[in-house]
């Protein structure tokens, strides 16, 4: 049996609402407390290094059975709509972090373009065309979108990233139709906390 933990989420944490909502979906394992003194652990100690976008990408890689062979001969598109304003360098770093979570170690012939609130990185990986875009949006619109497309099928991920615990959706489009799966856990953060 797992130990029930009292968790403190600092109100100034940029992921405060999303972490709090995820904790509330797991009442058998966690309860929220009002101060660090009352807590067994802080929310930041419960989640791994990275960002919600990189966590969602790693989940997608596992859930969709994406391996090294799956990364060849594809069009790979990543779109990060973030509720947090970041510098151009930080946006680019998050794009590369999400790609790394998907198994794309580095891009050949990489080209980066930046505007006032967005960045685009494009290149090739094992014969696959890869693009990753990052822009700032309102919190309720924040999401990670990923698609792997080849001549036979398209696998997509839609994962909310804002101040929400909405479920993520993985879909496979092929000649046999569309198969949509919604993971059991309500959000990527809830999945991390449940493990």
The pLDDT tens digits for 128-163 are: 999 999 999 987 788 899 999 998 889 999 888 765
118 shares a domain with 68: yes
The pLDDT tens digits for 13-23 are: 877 877 888 88
The pLDDT tens digits for 166-187 are: 677 888 998 888 888 876 556 7
- Can you tell me the distance from the alpha carbon of 106 to that of 108, in angstroms, rounded to the nearest whole number? 7
Domain holding 108: CATH number? 3.30.360.10
Domain assignment of residue 93, yes or no? yes
Q: What is the pLDDT at residue 2?
A: 59
113 shares a domain with 39: no
167 shares a domain with 129: yes
Domain assignment of residue 167, yes or no? yes
Q: What is the pLDDT at residue 16?
A: 81
- Close Cβ partners of 192 (under 8 Å, ≥ 6 residues apart): 22, 46, 47, 48, 55
100 shares a domain with 21: no
175 shares a domain with 144: yes
Q: What is the pLDDT at residue 63?
A: 84
The pLDDT tens digits for 41-95 are: 998 888 888 888 898 898 889 888 899 888 999 999 999 998 888 899 999 999 9
Quick one: which of 8, 22, 41 has its CA closest to 161?
22
Domain assignment of residue 195, yes or no? no
Average confidence (pLDDT) over 11-35: 86
Among the residues of the chain, which ranges form H helices?
16-24, 43-46, 52-63, 88-102, 188-194
Terminal Cα-to-Cα distance of the chain (whole angstroms): 13
Confidence of residue 26 (pLDDT cuts 50, 70, 90): confident
Domain assignment of residue 74, yes or no? yes
148 shares a domain with 64: yes
58 shares a domain with 9: no
What torsion do the CA atoms of 44, 47, 49, 50 make, to the nearest 10 degrees? -110
| Domains: count for the chain | 2
85 shares a domain with 27: no
The residue segments making up the domain with residue 19 are 5-46
- Can you tell me the distance from the alpha carbon of 50 to that of 75, in angstroms, rounded to the nearest whole number? 25
């Amino acid at each position: 049996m797992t130990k029930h933990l009292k968790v403190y989420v600092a109100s100034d944490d940029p992921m405060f609402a999303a972490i709090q909502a995820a904790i509330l979906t797991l009442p058998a394992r966690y309860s929220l407390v009002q101060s660090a003194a009352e807590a067994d652990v802080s929310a930041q100690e419960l989640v791994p290094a990275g960002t919600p976008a990189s966590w969602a990408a790693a989940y997608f890689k596992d859930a969709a059975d994406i391996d090294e062979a799956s990364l060849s001969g594809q069009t790979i598109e990543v779109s990060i709509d973030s509720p947090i304003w970041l510098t151009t360098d930080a946006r680019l770093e998050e794009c590369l972090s999400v790609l790394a979570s998907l198994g794309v170690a580095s891009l050949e012939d990489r080209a980066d373009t930046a505007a006032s609130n967005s960045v685009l990185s494009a290149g090739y990986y094992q014969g696959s065309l890869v693009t990753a875009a990052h822009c700032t949006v309102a919190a309720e619109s924040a999401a990670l979108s990923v698609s792997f497309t080849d001549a036979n099928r398209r696998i997509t991920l839609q994962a909310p990233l804002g101040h929400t615990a909405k479920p993520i959706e993985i879909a496979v489009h092929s000649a046999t139709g569309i198969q949509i799966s919604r993971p059991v856990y309500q959000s990527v953060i809830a999945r991390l906390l449940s493990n």
